[in-house]
Structure 1
């Protein structure tokens, strides 16, 4: 009876080793395929960028000197010649030599990650390089770019931003950043100036 069990154990151990080898080979193949897919994506992005640049150059050339379009086309066509193409290493990867996988000891499951929840404690951190927030009016932007409402809200003091939230009927609880995130869609630049005036 003992001999029969020993043979069975050997048979199961051989099956486990063979399965582990197959898993290792498949993981290697998966890694190679993922790398190749990433290379394809990079090539696709480079081609799209090149086409966009050629299109821009054609539009500019058509506007400045349309007679030079054929010269530009000849220059682009020349890039497809054998001499003009840079030689890169082949993307094919040599098959990996079969290796016997090392046994891996089981590990205890890791503790579940803490939920990504912002604590509702107001903490204002200042360092030597930070300037404290004040209730001074925030000057309007002079550029034509849209104002950074959330950035302006984050520069307000916690008391001012809570007062602004109350005046707009919004929830004024939580950190300055969480209140700013709620207010950024319902307040205007002038609302912020009025609240900090």
Structure 2
């Protein structure tokens, strides 16, 4: 038990040290992120100032180009005054890197129970197979002879005689007689075309 207690204390100390290092690194990270945001703000302000200088130069060139030298001198005075020193620069010196203290490696925890992969239930349903045949698939007829004859009988006598003439069939007799001769040789499309 004495050996285990010493090992436990050693690991607890290593955890505390690591947590302290993590806290120090997080503080440094926050500091760097804040500095980055400040730099971005300064960059935007500088870009805006340069844009304003460009605008002022263009306007001055348009209104009185002889005053450009005066404007340039005024900008030079801005950089030469003590106004720049009003704001104290932040400490940009890099902080000393924090290196983690080496700790003794620990053996991975082993479990007495073997790892068991979870079972996945899969339901298998059998679908009946349709026997393969070499016979070609013939589509079902869309209209029957009775349908064709019914359509022919609904046609006017002039249209059915015109269709009979187009199919080289005698157009003499009653509509029913002409329909009887045409029903085997015309399609539904032929009837629609004749009545169109």
Specify the TM-score bucket, using the shorter chain as the normaliser. Answer: 0.3 to 0.5
TM-score by length of 2: 0.45
When normalised by structure 1's length, the TM-score is: 0.45
Q: Return the structure number with greater relative CO, CA threshold 8 A, min gap 6.
A: 1
Instruction: From the two aligned structures, give the one with the greater helix fraction.
Output: 2
